[in-house]
Structures are given as structure tokens and as C-alpha cells.
Amino acid sequence: MPSKKRRRKEERPKIHPKNKYSDNPPDFALLASLYPSFKPFVFYSREGRPKIDWTDFNATRELTRVLLLHDHGLDWWIPDGQLCPTVPNRSNYIHWIEDLLSSDIIPKTNSNGDNVRGFDIGTGANCIYPLLGASLLGWSFVASDVTDVALEWAERNVKSNQHVSELIEIRKVKCSQNTHTPEVLNNTESTCSEEGEGLPSSSFHMPESKDKRYHGPPILVNVVRDGEKFDFCMCNPPFFESIEEAGLNPKTSCGGTHEEMVCPGGEKAFITCIIEDSAVLKQSFRWYTSMVGRKVNLKFLIAKLREVGVTIVKTTEFVQGQTCRWGLAWSFVPPTKKIIAPHVTEKNIISFMLEGLQRQFGAVQVLQSVESFFHAVGASCKSNASTFTVDITASTDHCNVLLRNEVKHHDEVASCSNVQEASPNLCFRVSVFQQIPGTLLIKGSLQHRDSPLSGLFSSIIQQLEDALRSKFCREKANF
């Protein structure tokens, strides 16, 4: 039992070390003693621990208000029904962007010296990211939104804080005739879940909209003006495909209008549109970023980024209490140095560890899954149970299907035996090695380094790694 607790503690990502709340989480008792308006919302558990009712929107809103005032010197308010952000979680996102900007992954192209300029997509009535970024780090922002209520209250929150008001521009997004405004899509408001800010647990059935494409107002293209340059953009996208889905997990209330919570296709469609806009704007931004609510969407979005030809992709996990979010960042700026993934030891050999395997799974089951993974797209597979290896031969079409994450039945894809001899193939071996109980080493070895497809080898092994982790490992987030 102690080993399980120790493993769980080691696997749990931490709040960003620069976050004001990393070592000192909000003290509800202290805040209640200092702010009488917050006191009615605080009660005590049997153990004497101060708590608030996370299902009470008024309580969560008042907590955000006093935290912004007490810890950041910001006067802030939002009307009923608007999305109420959690300050520690939003601070994580700000500090991650700070890390990206200060890194030497891509060259600094800012002609304004140390003046950092950001773009907040869909700032909402709360305008939380510009307020935090300006007050904590002195960044300037353009904050966009489409609804009158969001624009009015974002402007109020900016003007209420004269010490940062000159740093923040609120920009109205103008809808074209070919797009549907949020009001046309739906005017309903929702109450969503707690710390997850609306994200239901995986046990709920997720209703899906028929149209997975984004048809809403402009996001970046036609909002960013000609000649404008930014160091980054950031976004807390609408996570859900329907208002019913947004209300599935009523653990707590963070408010949230339909415009803030829902769009056809959910976050996957919305972030895909940001990616497509970024392919047009290219180096108008040093970094494009977005928060992602569901880990399962990351693989699709990263594949989409490969399609548009980005130079670098970075991911992270944001943690606050029991809430997890993921951050996705990409750039079209050429990197300052060649980036080599940490699990690549040689150009023709790539290995990774499968840790935390469930007891019923071992090398045999993993080897069978490796064979099934490649066989599903029609690749030729020859396994050897005695040496725990699988030899794979994949055509260009097979590789493209894998990298698009569109695994089909093998009958739908031509097998390697039917491929013309002149067609290039990618040949490699996957070996499975037992390490310690619950841990396997998976090694991919490229057989012909001069193949025209050898450049795809690393990405294909990464897809295999993701699939095996998803199937065999305990829930674990390493980004």
C-alpha cells in the first residue's frame, strides 16, 4: 500500500512553481476575516477545515473577487451567469506562457525590447488573462470578444484598475454575413461544474452535434489587424458541443453563457480553427497557445499542427486542486537549435518505457497490441513470440493513415503485398523488453535509414507509444 501511495504522489503534476498559490493555497478563514462579504460563504468541516460550497455561483464569484483584490490588487466583478474563472488555474497558464517566452527554443523577434504583447481570444466578461498578465508581468494585451455583455464588463474591469488599464485594449469581433453569431446559435446560459469549470467526468455519455466544423465569428483572421505583431495568443475555448453536455457534471457552479461554453464540434473544432488561422498569420505571433480541456483531443490537434507545417509544438498540464487542464503551444518561427526528443537515443533507434502496467498485462499482450496497431492500417507484420519482436513494413499510404490518426480496418487499406515494388516502404522492428514488474521497454529499430519515409519513423513510434499508454497504463499525464 505505501508503494501505491508513493507512486500516485510522484505521478501527480504540480501547480506551476511561480504560481502565487503553489506553496500557499487560498486561506478561506483568513479571507473571511478580512473581507466581510466573503464570510457568509465560508463554513467548516467536522475536522475544522474552512470550505465553501462549490455549487454556489455566488460563493465562487466572491472567492475570485477577493483573491484578485487581496493577492493582485485588482478590482473585479462579473454579472450573474457569466463564466467565473478560478484564479490559481488561470495563473498557471500565464506562467507557462512566461516560460515559453523566456526560453531559447525560438529566437526573440520582439522589436519593442522587453515589452511583451499578447492576444486573448474570447476574453469574456471576466477579462482574467489580461488582468493577471498585466498586473503580474506588465504585459500588454488585445482582448477580443463578440457579445455586448462580455465587452461591456471586460471594459469595466479594465477601467476599474487604472494601474493596468493602459496596457489592455478590448476589441470587438465583427461577424461576417457567412458566420453565425453566438446569439443565433443559442441564447441559453448554463451552470457548469466546479473546479472542472464545466467538464463532465468520463463516465457521462457525451451528446455530439451533427456538424463538427466551426461556423462562429472570426477568431484571429479578420480580427488581428494588418501589420500587427504579437508575442503570443492564448485562449480558454468553448469546451462543449452542446448545452446539455455542459451541464452534465453538477459538482459545482462556475456559471458560463452559451457563447463561453459551447460551439459546434466543441473545443476540438474551435482550436482547429485557431490552428487554421495560425497557418495564415504564421509569424505574426511568436507563439500560438490554447488551453485544452480533454486530454483525448491532444493527439488530433497535434496531428493537425503537423499538417500545417509548424516548426515546434509544446504541451503541458495545468493542475489546481482536482482539476486538470492541458496547454498546447506551437510556432512557425524556425527554432534556434535542433530539438531532439528525449527518448531518441539514435536516429534509427527510438525507445520508450511503459510504466505502471496493470497486473493482468505483460510483454505478450503488449507485443500482440503492437502487431494489431500496425495491422489495422494494412501494414505487413511478422511477429516472433520467442524474441518478442514484430517486423513491420509500411507503405506511404499506411504511414499517412497512421499520422492522420485514422486507423481503419485492414481490408480498407491496401496491404504491403499489393503495393508496387517501386513504391517506397518504411521497414522497422519493434522489440519488447521486460524491465521490472509493471515496466516494459519498447524499442523501435529502423531497418533501412535511406528510405524516403525514414523521416516519418519518429512520429509513427510516437503514435504507437500514445496508443500503448492509453491501453495499458494507469491514467498518467506526461507532457
Query: Binding site for S-adenosyl-L-methionine, residues?
Result: 90, 122, 145, 236
Picking from 410, 407, 409, 402, the residue whose alpha carbon sits closest to that of residue 303 is 402
d(CA 39, CA 28): 9
**What φ, ψ does residue 167 adopt, rounded to 5°?**
-90, -10
Q: What is the 3-state secondary structure (H, E, C) of 215-284?
A: CCCCCCCCCCCCCCCEEEEEECCCCECCHHHHCCCCCCCCCCEHHHHECCCHHHHHHHHHHHHHHHHHHH
Picking from 315, 234, 222, the residue whose alpha carbon sits closest to that of residue 271 is 234
Helix, strand, coil: what percent of the chain each, to 5? 35, 20, 45
Contacts of 286 (CB under 8 A, 6+ apart): 101, 106, 108, 109, 110, 230, 231, 232, 331, 333
d(CA 348, CA 215): 43
d(CA 25, CA 15): 10
Amino acid letter for position 221:
V
Binding residues: 90, 122, 145, 236
Contacts of 154 (CB under 8 A, 6+ apart): 123, 124, 125, 126, 127, 143, 145, 170
Sheet of 344-346: strand order equals 344-346, 349-355, 439-446, 425-434, 389-395, 380-384
